[in-house]
Amino acid sequence: MSTGTIKKDSGFGVAQLILFISIAVLVIFVAWPVLLILFNAFFVDGSFNSHDFYEVLTEPETFQALINSLIIASMTTIGSTIVGTFFAWLVTRTDLPYKNFMKSLFLVPFMLPSFIGALAWKMLLSPNSGYINKFFIETFGFSGPVFDIYTYHGISAVEVMYLFPFVFIQVCGALERMDPTLEESARISGAGLFTITRKITIPLVMPSIMSGALLIMLYSMAHFGTVAVLGIEQGIYNIPTLIYEKIHQSGGSFESIRTGTVLATVLVVSAACIIWAQKKILSTGHYQIIGGKSFRPMELKLRGLRYPLLFFCLAYIAFTILLPTAVIFLVGGVKTYGLPFTMENLSLDNYKYILFEYEVTKDAIFNSISLGLAAAIITMFAGVMISYVIVKMKVRGKGILEFLGMLPFSVPGSVIALGVILAWSGQFGVNLYNTVWIILVAYIARYMAFSLKANSAALEQVHDSLMEASRSCGATMWQSLKDIVIPLVKPGMISAFFLIFLPALRELTVSIMLYAPTTRTIGVAIYTLNEDGETVMSTALAGIALILIVVGQMLINRFTKKVEG
């Protein structure tokens, strides 16, 4: 019995039909919007026009946004790489106490929305009304604020708090699988801890460090939330926030769309360069650190530094995660923003009002949950179909699917949103603008790659002989898929569902570009309420969002353990 991939003739026309539908889905939802951005950036009235492209880029406002994006992304990347690498080294290569627990804690920022963290740090370190600045002024008699969060350093510091897990995860994986022979040899030769780390460990895991750093650069370049909350007030715009301001201030005029497409093109080119550099680094053969045997990494003794470093790690988590989270819930419970956190000033009335009475937030919660569910279900089933073609079928053209399937993963959310505006605003006969459907289309485009990754991994584990045995017994291809493949990949499908539902629940970058007054999502409602001066209402809704996210993550973890068990 053959164990190769399913052959081209595994069912008359079925493979070609699935391939056609799969390509059509990705072209309509992913490729077409991105191509429209590139076309509108370089073509005016059907004619190529690079002069206008150059003029838009060299306008002081847009040029400054480009510079700001590079400054913030560079500072965030450097800071996140240092923090992530240091903590990864601590929890994998030293005898730090409670290492597994600490590793779990360092992954917590990965699931929290950074724009909610930015909102919390705005309330803590705002020069005029920040709680920490007020504490220093009232307690120590400072004449003015000690900290100012509305700066490049402030924005980058907040992004570092939530993005360092990109490096942390990759470096942890590399360090845990690394052959410790070279480190042990250096130690026998008398090299100290610092020398071994600097000259052997770090160089060997440098590809993983650089890969994580490039992901952070890509994410930070395209990040809307933190810069919108902390930068716009002081005139600090990056590319996504400038696209948003241009389009919403002008009501979607041609000139604003034109400027947006030029800036979006810059993001696409930047993303392409970053992805290329990442692949180049990972494909190099100069750093072969994983051998054929199973190794137990060498554990370096911290001696007297064990508990001081443990305290430092706990203090870092408390300061960067617990403190801002506590502030969100406390401010959401006060009667008026600025009142001290005393029992007489705190209640649950704001949370009750947000959940059961205030129409804006009730609609936002409903929209986010329904959009998240719809996007997760659609992409889950579409992802299974497309992944099946990529993994199991031998048909011409499936390489196109692999490229289109990964395109949303490398294209920033603001680019997806702008492309969807161009594609579905009536120009081609279908007008979804200012409806909830245009947000759903954008979610499907943005999160398709998540579904493909999860379902492809599940399908890789289903041996081809099962399908071939079913076909040899007379079952049709559809019967084999229904009775054998789908039940076996169901855990991967459910994993894909949650991988899409939770990010969609807290999504802001795409939704802020596409929302109408009646189609706000949770992220948009939090942001717009804060911009309107409704600080207490925005933080109360942010607290509810955090509860939904944490509960959802707990359900995912419980389901994952159940499946693995």
Q: Are 404 and 23 in contact (CB under 8 A)?
A: yes
Q: What is the pLDDT of residue 333?
A: 93
Give the separation between CA 193 and CA 172, rounded to whole angstroms.
18
Q: What whole-number percentage of the chain has pLDDT above 90?
A: 30
Q: What is the pLDDT of residue 324?
A: 94
Give the separation between CA 484 and CA 190, rounded to whole angstroms.
58
DSSP for 517-532 reads TT---HHHHHHHHHHT
Check whether 108 has a pLDDT greater than 80.
yes
Check whether 321 has a pLDDT greater than 70.
yes
Tokens of 54: 């150059």
Check whether 286 has a pLDDT greater than 50.
no
Q: Mean pLDDT throughout 2-23?
A: 59
Q: Mean pLDDT throughout 298-321?
A: 89
Check whether 120 has a pLDDT greater than 90.
yes
Q: Which residue has the higher pLDDT, 5 or 562?
A: 562
Q: Mean pLDDT throughout 197-225?
A: 84
Check whether 267 has a pLDDT greater than 50.
yes
| Range of lowest pLDDT (28-32, 400-404, 490-494) | 400-404
Tokens of 370: 């329904």
Q: What is the pLDDT of residue 560?
A: 65
User: Which of 52, 34, 32, 33 minimizes the C-alpha distance to 42?
Assistant: 52
Q: Are 481 and 489 in contact (CB under 8 A)?
A: no
Tokens 């900290």 appear where?
A: 147
**Which neighbouring-strand residues pair with 425?**
431
Q: Which residue has the higher pLDDT, 225 or 43?
A: 225
**Which neighbouring-strand residues pair with 94?**
300
Q: What is the pLDDT of residue 119?
A: 94
Q: Mean pLDDT throughout 405-419?
A: 80
DSSP state of 286: S
Secondary-structure breakdown of the chain: helix, strand, coil percentages, each rounded to the nearest 5? 75, 0, 20
| Angstrom distances, CA of residue 176 to CA of 80, 83, 298, 396, 489 | 20, 18, 9, 39, 29
Tokens of 78: 């450097």
Q: What is the pLDDT of residue 563?
A: 58
DSSP state of 425: B
Q: pLDDT-based confidence at 4, cuts 50/70/90? A: very low
Check whether 24 has a pLDDT greater than 50.
yes
Check whether 89 has a pLDDT greater than 60.
yes
User: Which of 484, 114, 99, 183 minimizes the C-alpha distance to 324?
Assistant: 114
Q: Mean pLDDT throughout 542-563?
A: 80
User: Which DSSP helix (H) or strand (E) runs through 299?
Assistant: none
Q: Looking at domain 59-347, which of 1.10.3720.10, 1.20.210.10, 2.40.110.10, 2.60.120.10 is its CATH number?
A: 1.10.3720.10
Q: pLDDT-based confidence at 287, cuts 50/70/90? A: very low
User: Which DSSP helix (H) or strand (E) runs through 424?
Assistant: none
| Range of lowest pLDDT (200-209, 258-267, 299-308, 458-467) | 458-467
Tokens of 279: 């692949």
- Secondary structure, 3-state, 363-381: HHHHHHHHHHHHHHHHHHH
Average pLDDT, the chain: 83
Triad 326, 327, 330: Cα angle to 5°: 85
Q: What is the pLDDT of residue 298?
A: 67
Give the separation between CA 34 and CA 420, rounded to whole angstroms.
8
pLDDT tens-digit map of 523-535: 999 999 998 889 9
Check whether 6 has a pLDDT greater than 70.
no
Q: What is the pLDDT of residue 273?
A: 83
Q: What is the pTM of this model?
A: 0.85
Check whether 285 has a pLDDT greater than 70.
no
Q: Mean pLDDT throughout 46-72?
A: 86
pLDDT tens-digit map of 346-390: 999 999 999 999 999 999 999 999 999 999 999 988 888 888 888
